Amino acid sequence: MSTLEIRDLHVSVETKEGPKQILRGVDLTITSGQTHAIMGPNGSGKSTLASALAGHPKYQVTSGTVTLDGEDVLAMTVDERARAGLFLAMQYPVEVPGVSVANFLRTAKTAIDGEAPKLRTWGKEVKEAMGNLRIDSAFSERSVNEGFSGGEKKRHEILQMELFKPHFAILDETDSGLDVDALRIVSEGVNRAKENTDVGVLLITHYTRILRYIKPDFVHVFVDGRIAEEGGPELAERLEEEGYDKYVGAAAPASV
Amino acid sequence: MTATTDLTTDHSRAVADGAHTHSPGAASAAPQGSRAERLTSFSLDDIPVPTGREEEWRFSPVARIQPLFDGGLVTAGADGSGVRVTVEAAPEVKVETVGRDDARLGRAGKPGDRTGVTAWNAFTEATVVTVPAEATPADVTSVRFDGDQGAAAVPSAAHVLVKAERHAEAVVVIDHAGVATLNQTVEIDVADGAHLTVVSVQDWADGAVHTSSHRARIGRDAKLKHVVVTFGGDVVRVTPDAEFTGEGGEVEMVGLYFADSDQHQEHRLFVDHAVPRCKSRVTYKGALQGSGAHTVWVGDVLIQAEAEGTDTYELNRNLVLTDGARADSVPNLEIETGEIDGAGHASATGRFDDEQLFYLMARGIPETDARRLVVRGFFAELIQEIGVASVEERLIASIEAELEKSMSVITGEADPATETDAE
């Protein structure tokens, strides 16, 4: 049983005009097995939260804490966070030319586990996971994300989530740009990981569509860099009907 | 009258970072106009000692090359030269040491710059490697130049002729190690129907200064794969020229270089499409790290009026790993006929991509390993193209060794031996 605890998190991003405050005091606690959906309009800071948790150098934490079972996550380097059990499925996965998927997966798995995976079982495990996500086995020899379609990139992210078995997975708009078939395949992957590993999931999304496939335990509405409202799955249903208008309208004066 | 045209120019991936110059056309880059008009000669009197302002020397540290501009070079391998020349030939291959009056020498083009003409006039004995007609040796033939510590102070000259006779197929590797101040000519003669691979590896130690004029003539339906690998030495300047003498010829020129602090690595290529229906492919890739690391790539391609049906493409990519390094990249394409199959070039110089680093590190991979993966990936495809297993393995090992150096720069460790990453 693990706990990821975010307390009063303030994050700014470097821009040409100087640092710009994006997160203005986020509080959130996730434990193993839970799924938290973070919803909100564009520009509300959802993706900033994801990047800041993973340690992207563009984002500066100006105050607040993030702990994983009491360990200070913010003091860790990007790779240390991943090895501690955090996983970020990226909104825009990066191409790495000349590095094959097979080599990448094995290298990452070795780094995360601290030892190389057993050759025979690893091969089988990868093959099976790829099959479940309808990823052609020829992908193993392709360069990471190079020439992948949008859907292929997202399935490749979830493939990693299934293989690396993190304690907590942050899914940054994994659903955006996916057609219904791809969305279902990706969602099945996330649900398999939840079943098999008791992973805690932070599901960042703009739309309610994915919540039909991945059931959240909690829904948080992000507005202007902080959580404006929280509730159970019923909150998502309300958002589906009402949209974000009421939050955006209410938040506008506060941000001045 | 020369019409200079860029048919295709792929600059979409070029990164403007200040450490990069790029002249898209010969007209803007070459003050003396067409490459076809550049003087070539066997006479020292015709090509004077450069000042450094000349088109072909404008990127070069001429002061450091100065010892190789004058006559009076000792022949490499001779007593007192400090350079040992060793040949290990496949059984089918003939190796001779001949005098400079041998009629086979000096038939592949003429020197086109000062070091080229100095090298031609200096050597007393040449090494001739002949792959007999229709011979297809399975083994690699290697010619090694090893300089000892004293060799740096003794400017020397060397001449190698690699001759593949009609329908021969072979691989010849020319290796350079140790320290030397060496001015070299490599003549390559690929007879009709022959398939020859020539690999030149500049694996010099610090302190070496090496200039080398490669001049290749490619016969009818012949194919040359020309590979240049430059890792070591203070100054290395290789100028491969390829000239087609019969229809249906093909040349593939592959280069790979890795420059460290204060190293100058220059590769200037010239492909002369003088006859119809020949094909050329040029792919050079380099990485740079450390202050004062400087690489120069110039790729001249001339498609003469009579060279109808020509198909050519050249590409140069540079990966700048640290601040303070400079990559110059200048592709020039001159086209004197419209009746061609294809002609294009691409050049891009980019800094190490921090987003790639973040992606890999976000998967638990430590920074040093992540950088290694990216740089290996950058070179991977090119290494596979070489097609000579022993050279590929050495190359991968050399890249690893270079990366050890950059890791010590990045992590601030003075001693790369403290690296603990298991490979």
Give me Rg for the CA atoms of chain A: 18
Say whether pLDDT at B385 is over 90: no
Q: Tell whether B195 is covered by a domain.
A: yes
A97, A98, A160: residue with CB nearest B363: A160
Which helix H or strand E contains B218, and what residues bound it?
strand B209-218
- If one counts the domains in chain B, the total is 2
B370: contact with A, CB 8 A cutoff = yes
Note whether B376 and B368 are within 8 A (CB). Answer: no
Give A42→chain B minimum CA distance, Å.
22
Q: Taking CA atoms, what residue in A is nearest to B375?
A: A98
Q: pLDDT at position B421, please?
A: 37
| 8 Å CB contact of B377 and A98 | yes
- Joined together, the tokens standing for residue A170 give 């942050």
| 8 Å CB contact of B353 and A78 | no
Rounded-to-integer distance, Cα A161 and Cα A155, Å: 10
- Joined together, the tokens standing for residue B323 give 């601040």
Work out the mean pLDDT of chain B and round it to a whole number: 88
Query: Which residues in chain B touch residue A143, judged by CB atoms under 8 angstroms apart?
Result: 377
Pairing of strands B94-99, B125-131: antiparallel
| 8 Å CB contact of A96 and B366 | no
Rounded-to-integer distance, Cα B371 and Cα B374, Å: 5
B381: contact with A, CB 8 A cutoff = yes
Note whether B329 and B22 are within 8 A (CB). Answer: yes
Q: pLDDT at position B407, please?
A: 67
Query: Which residues in chain B touch residue A85, judged by CB atoms under 8 angstroms apart?
Result: none
Average pLDDT over residues B32-57: 89
Which residue matches tokens 């009258």?
Answer: B1
DSSP character at residue A32? T
- If one counts the domains in chain A, the total is 1
Half-sphere exposure of A90 (CA within 13 A, CB side): 20
A94, A97, A112: residue with CB nearest B364: A112
End-to-end CA, chain A: 41
Shared-domain flag, residues B298 and B357: no
Give A30→chain B minimum CA distance, Å.
20
Shared-domain flag, residues B265 and B386: no
Q: Tell whether B322 is covered by a domain.
A: yes
B53: contact with A, CB 8 A cutoff = no
B380: contact with A, CB 8 A cutoff = yes
Give residue-wise pLDDT tens across range B401-423.
888 876 665 555 443 333 333 33
A56: contact with B, CB 8 A cutoff = yes
φ, ψ of residue B225 to 5 degrees: the values are -105, 120
Shared-domain flag, residues B412 and B341: no
Give A80→chain B minimum CA distance, Å.
6
Number of C-beta neighbours around residue B22 at 10 A: 17
Note whether A58 and A81 are within 8 A (CB). Answer: no
Residue B205 is part of which domain span? 9-351
Q: Tell whether B233 is covered by a domain.
A: yes
Note whether B286 and B327 are within 8 A (CB). Answer: yes
Q: Taking CA atoms, what residue in A is nearest to B352?
A: A96
Closest CA to A217 of A196, A205, A203: A203
Rounded-to-integer distance, Cα A6 and Cα A26, Å: 7
Q: Tell whether B241 is covered by a domain.
A: yes
Give residue-wise pLDDT tens across range B119-167.
999 999 999 999 999 999 999 999 999 999 888 889 999 999 999 999 9
Q: How far apart, in Å, are the Cα atoms of B366 and each of A77, A115, B220, B363, B423?
A: 9, 14, 52, 9, 13
Percent of chain B's residues with pLDDT above 70 = 88
Query: Which residues in chain B touch residue A82, judged by CB atoms under 8 angstroms apart?
Result: 361-364
Q: pLDDT at position A188, please?
A: 97
Shared-domain flag, residues B140 and B240: yes
Average pLDDT over residues B109-114: 95
Which helix H or strand E contains B216, and what residues bound it?
strand B209-218
Question: What is the largest distance, in Å, between two alpha-carbon atoms of chain A?
Answer: 60
Give residue-wise pLDDT tens across range A162-202.
999 999 999 999 999 899 999 999 999 999 999 999 999 99
Note whether B187 and B218 are within 8 A (CB). Answer: no
| 8 Å CB contact of B363 and A83 | no
Could you give the 3-state DSSP secondary structure of residue B141?
strand
Beta-carbon pairs below 8 A across chains A and B: 76
pLDDT band at B399 (very low <50, low <70, confident <90, very high): confident
Mutate to test the interface with B, among A59, A79, A143, A161 (most CBs of B within 10 A): A79
Which residue matches tokens 């067409």?
Answer: B34
Query: Which residues in chain B touch residue A157, judged by CB atoms under 8 angstroms apart?
Result: none
Q: Tell whether B1 is covered by a domain.
A: no
Shared-domain flag, residues B24 and B113: yes
What's the CATH code of the domain at A167? 3.40.50.300
Rounded-to-integer distance, Cα B362 and Cα B364, Å: 5
How far is CA B138 from its chain centroid? 25
Give A78→chain B minimum CA distance, Å.
6
pLDDT band at B391 (very low <50, low <70, confident <90, very high): confident
Could you give the 3-state DSSP secondary structure of residue B276?
coil
Shared-domain flag, residues B342 and B379: no
Which residue matches tokens 């498609």?
Answer: B303
Note whether A163 and A125 are within 8 A (CB). Answer: yes
Q: Compute the C-alpha angle B346/B350/B354, nearest 5°.
A: 140
Shared-domain flag, residues B409 and B266: no
Length of chain B: 423
What amino acid is encoded at A188 in this protein? E
DSSP letters spanning A105-132: HHHHHHHHHSSPPPHHHHHHHHHHHHHH
Note whether B150 and B208 are within 8 A (CB). Answer: no
- Joined together, the tokens standing for residue B86 give 């060793």
Shared-domain flag, residues B243 and B279: yes
Say whether pLDDT at B12 is over 80: no
Pairing of strands A18-31, B181-190: unpaired
DSSP strand E in A181-232: where? Answer: 200-205, 218-223, 226-231
Query: Which residues in chain A touch residue B363, judged by CB atoms under 8 angstroms apart?
Result: 79, 82, 104, 108, 111-112, 160, 164
Q: pLDDT at position A248, please?
A: 75
Percent of chain B's residues with pLDDT above 90 = 75
Residues of chain A with pLDDT under 50: 251-256
A55, A88, A94: residue with CB nearest B356: A94
Shared-domain flag, residues B151 and B242: yes
Residue A162 is part of which domain span? 3-254
Shared-domain flag, residues B176 and B269: yes
Rounded-to-integer distance, Cα A103 and Cα B259, Å: 27
CB proximity under 8 Å: A 94-123 to B: 94-99, 103-104, 107-108, 111-112
Q: Is B167 left (phi over 0), alpha (psi -120 to 50) or beta?
A: left
Last residue of a domain, one of B335, B351, B367: B351
Region of poorest pLDDT, from B28-37, B39-48, B313-322: B28-37
Q: pLDDT at position B408, please?
A: 63
B354, B356, B367: residue with CB nearest A96: B356
Shared-domain flag, residues B171 and B119: yes
Give A155→chain B minimum CA distance, Å.
16
Q: pLDDT at position A61, please?
A: 97
Half-sphere exposure of B45 (CA within 13 A, CB side): 0
Closest CA to A208 of A237, A247, A179, A231: A237
Could you give the 3-state DSSP secondary structure of residue B381?
helix
Residue that wins the pLDDT comparison between B185 and B351: B185
Which helix H or strand E contains A49, and what residues bound it?
helix A46-54
B353, B361, B374: residue with CB nearest A79: B361
**What is the 3-state secondary structure of B31-75?**
CCCCHHHCCCCCCCCCCCCCCCCCHHHCCCCHHHHHHHCCCCCEE
Q: pLDDT at position A157, please?
A: 98
Q: pLDDT at position B409, please?
A: 57
Average pLDDT over residues B43-55: 94
Q: pLDDT at position A251, please?
A: 47
Q: pLDDT at position B33, please?
A: 65
Rounded-to-integer distance, Cα B284 and Cα B253, Å: 8
| 8 Å CB contact of B363 and A96 | no
A171: contact with B, CB 8 A cutoff = no
DSSP strand E in B219-341: where? Answer: 223-230, 235-244, 250-259, 264-273, 279-288, 294-303, 311-320, 326-335
Q: pLDDT at position B30, please?
A: 40
Rounded-to-integer distance, Cα A31 and Cα A9, Å: 18
| 8 Å CB contact of A93 and B356 | no
| 8 Å CB contact of B363 and A95 | no
- Joined together, the tokens standing for residue A215 give 């059931």
Q: Which residues contact B275 (CB under 8 A, 6 or more apart)?
A: B244, B245, B246, B247, B249, B306, B307
B319: contact with A, CB 8 A cutoff = no
Give residue-wise pLDDT tens across range B198-214.
999 999 999 999 999 99
Q: Tell whether B4 is covered by a domain.
A: no
Number of C-beta neighbours around residue A103 at 10 A: 19
Shared-domain flag, residues B374 and B314: no
